[in-house]
Chain A
Amino acid sequence: KQEVTQIPAALSVPEGENLVLNCSFTDSAIYNLQWFRQDPGKGLTSLLLIQSSQREQTSGRLNASLDKSSGRSTLYIAASQPGDSATYLCAPSGGSYIPTFGRGTSLIVHP
């Protein structure tokens, strides 16, 4: 059974900082990994999808890397803004193509 751990569980930073959010998973036999953001009480918004053959994906100020062999993915957020405040979830998909979620990292960026 896939287990997903996200560190740190919570993060509070001043605006402008570059951030690193970590995700580890126990079963490295994945087909892809997706990063999502979730605002309080809302649904999930997809940020980045990395296929197993890829090492990283970039979208604007966001960059996600994937090291499948070690069971790790990292989300980098450059020049953080208050609007980045949300919970960030990573979800690897294995042989069944079903994403498995951790508890996420709760991020607060204060002005």
Chain B
Amino acid sequence: DAGVTQSPTHLIKTRGQQVTLRCSPKSGHDTVSWYQQALGQGPQFIFQYYEEEERQRGNFPDRFSGHQFPNYSSELNVNALLLGDSALYLCASSPVARGGYTFGSGTRLTVV
């Protein structure tokens, strides 16, 4: 049973560009959440998707947007990249609101 899969593993982008990260949830999970983890910090919540809608959002600017597809997979889009957006981006899925979260291996984004 595959867990949460994220792609790509690593990505290098130039300041001002746009990036799309992808996530496939664990089988049986319908809720997808995205986190940003800067070096030496704990993961920070970006937003959560359920039934193809953004259900919760953390303290991140509108440059960060997302989408959830009918098969529950999700994308994270970041526009107008800044150097400070360099981080590990983690996707997590959960079966229902009270279920435990399963995380993917992350996408390491470097903005130069």
Contacts and interface: CB of A to CB of B under 8 A. Distances in A.
Interface residues of B, number: 27
Nearest to A95: B97
Interface string B65-91: 000000000000000000000001010
Contacts, number: 55
B45 A98 contact: yes
Contacts of A43: 4, 6, 90, 103-106
Contact of B43 (A41, A44, A51): A44
A109 to B, nearest CB: 20
- Range, interface on chain A: 20 to 34
A4 B43 CA distance: 12
Contact of A103 (B42, B88, B92): B42
Contacts of B42: 4, 89, 101-104
Interface of A: 4, 31-32, 34, 36, 41-46, 49, 51, 89, 91, 93, 96-104
Interface of B: 4, 6, 33, 35, 40-45, 48, 56, 58, 88, 90, 92, 94, 97-98, 100-106, 108
